[in-house]
Amino acid sequence: MSNSTIPTTPQGKAADFLDERLSISKAIKSNISKVFPDHWSFMLGEVALYSFIILLLSGTYLTLFFKPSMVEVIYNGPYVPLKGVKMSEAFASTLHISFDVRGGLLMRQIHHWAALFFIGAMSIHMFRVFFTGAFRKPRELNWVIGTVLVLLGIVEGFMGYSLPDDLLSGTGLRITQGIIAAVPVVGTYVSFGLFGGEFPGQDVVSRFYTLHILLIPGLILALVGAHLMMVWYQKHTQWPGPGRTENNVVGYRLFPVYTAKAGGFFFVVLGLTTLISALVTINPVWMFGPYTPDQISAGSQPDWYMGFLDGAVRVMPNWEISAFGHTLSLNLIIPAIVLPGIMTTLLGLYPFVSVD
C-alpha cells in the first residue's frame, strides 16, 4: 500500500508536490466521491451560476473596448444613419463594439442575453427552493444569501443596461433620478451626488461603470462562493423517493459523473446563449440613438426584471403632499421605495416566519 503513494509518474510527482505543501490528499479524499441527488429542477441554480460565469467572461471582453465617458464626440463610424451625430464616448464606443469589432456585437448580445438568463434562472431557482420547502432548517441562511443575490443581480443588470448611454437607457436613468429625488430629506443631495450635479451631468456612466464591473460583481462572486459552500457543507436537498430518507443523499458521485454532467452543462448553457445571441438581436442601441434628455421613443420599457417596479409606479395614484415648504411624493415613494423594501424584507425573512 505505502509503495503506491511514492510518486513515479509526472502527475504523481505534481500531486505529491501539492500534498506535501497543502495536504490536498485530505481534501480530495473527503470530497471527490461526494454524492449529489439528480433532478432537472436542480439545474436551475446551475444555469444561474453558468450565466454568471458567462457574464464575467463576456463582460471582461467588453471592457477592453468600452469607454465609460460622457464626453461628447461626433460619430464618424460605419453606421451611416448616425454619421455626424453628437453623442457621448460611451455610446460611440458601444457602436464601435457593435460595428467595427469582429465578434463585438456577439459579445454584447451574449452579455445582455446572459444577464436576462442569470436573473431569470435565479428567479425560477428561487421558486423551486420556495415550493419544495428547501429554504427550511438548516438552509434559512442560504435563502437569505439567495435573496440578496437576486437583488444584486437586478441592480447589476440595471446598471449594465444604463452604460451604453443610448436613448432607452438614458430614459431609465431619468426615471431613476426622479425616484431618487423623491426620497424625503436626502433625495436631492443623493441625486446630485450620484450624477455629479444636475441630471444628466457627466459622471453617472463612469460611476456606474465602476460599480458595475468591480463592486457589485465582486459582491455577487463572494456571495455565490458562500452560497455554494453552504450547499456543499449542508448537502443538497433531494426529492422523496425509494431509498431516500432524511438522513441520506442518494445520487451520483462528484467524480466522475457530476464532473462530466455539470461541466458539460456549462458548455450547453454557453452554447445555447451564444446561438441565441447570434440569431436574435437584443438591445439594438443603434436604432435608439444617443441619449438626449428632450427625446424619447414611444413605449419605453425597462428590461423585464424591472417591470414590477415600473408597473407599480404606473398604477400608483398621484398622491403628493406639499406642506411646510416640503414635498412628499407618495406617488413615487410608495411604489418605488416602500413596495420593493417590503417585498424583499418579507422574502428574506420568510424562512424565519413560516411554519412547517
Partner 1 sequence: MSEQSNLPATHGAHDNHGGEVDYATRDERGRYILPLEEHTPRITDIDPRAAKRAERQVAWLFTLGGACLAGGVAAYVAFDSRELISVPTIGRVSASNFWLGTLIGLGSFFIGAAAIHWARRLMPGEEAVDHRHPLRGDEQSRASAIEQFKRGAAESGFLSRPLVRRTMLGAMALFPLPLVVLLGDLGPSPKEKLRHTMWGDKRMTRIVNQGSGELVRPEDMAVGGLINAIPEGLERIQEETGTQNERAKSSIILVRMNPSEIKAQQGEGWDYEGILAYSKICTHVGCPISLYQQRTHALLCPCHQSTFDLSDAGRVVFGPAARHMPQLRLGVDAEGYLVALGDFAEPVGPSFWERG
Check residue 270 for interaction with partner 1 (CB under 8 A): yes
How far apart are alpha carbons 314 and 300 in whole angstroms? 13
- Among 255, 338, 352, which Cα is nearest to 28's? 255
The Cα 147–Cα 300 span in angstroms is 28
Residue 297 within binding range of partner 1, rule CB under 8 A: yes
Stretch that binds partner 1, among 12-20, 119-127, 195-203, 348-356 (CB under 8 A): 195-203
Site for partner 1 in 276-295 (CB under 8 A): 276-279, 281, 291-295
Q: Nearest distance from residue 13's CB to partner 1, in Å?
A: 28
Cα–chain-centroid distance for residue 149?
Answer: 8
Separation CA 122–CA 48 (nearest Å): 6
Query: How large is the greatest C-alpha to C-alpha distance in the chain, in angstroms?
Result: 87
Q: How far is the CB of 263 from partner 1 (least distance, A)?
A: 6
Q: Which parts of 15-34 interact with partner 1 (CB under 8 A)?
A: 33-34
State which residue, 276 or 347, has the beta carbon closest to partner 1.
Answer: 276
Q: Label the pairing between strands 321-323 and 326-328.
A: antiparallel
Query: Binding marks (x or -) toward partner 1, 78..117, rule CB under 8 A?
Result: x--------------------xxxxxxxx--xx-------
Rank residues 218 and 264 by Cβ distance to partner 1 and give the closer one: 264
**Binding positions for partner 1, 205-244, rule CB under 8 A:** 234-235, 241-243
DSSP output for 270-339? HHHHHHHHHHS----HHHH-B--TT---TT----GGGHHHHHHHHHS----EEETTEEE-HHHHIIIIIH
Q: Which is nearer to partner 1, 51 or 153 (CB)?
A: 51
Site pattern 113..152 for partner 1 (x: CB under 8 A): -------------------------x--------------
Classify residue 136 by burial, with Cβ atoms within 10 Å: 0-12, 13-18, 19+.
Answer: middle
CB within 8 Å of 69: residues ≥ 6 apart: 88, 89, 90, 205, 206
Stretch that binds partner 1, among 8-16, 66-74, 210-218, 348-356 (CB under 8 A): 66-74
What 3-state class would DSSP assign to 63?
helix
Q: Which is nearer to partner 1, 9 or 322 (CB)?
A: 322
Interacting span for partner 1 (CB under 8 A) from 125-133, 155-163, 316-324, 343-351: 316-324
Among 28, 116, 181, 343, binds partner 1 (CB under 8 A): 181
Q: Which of 124, 145, 183, 343 binds partner 1 (CB under 8 A)?
A: 183
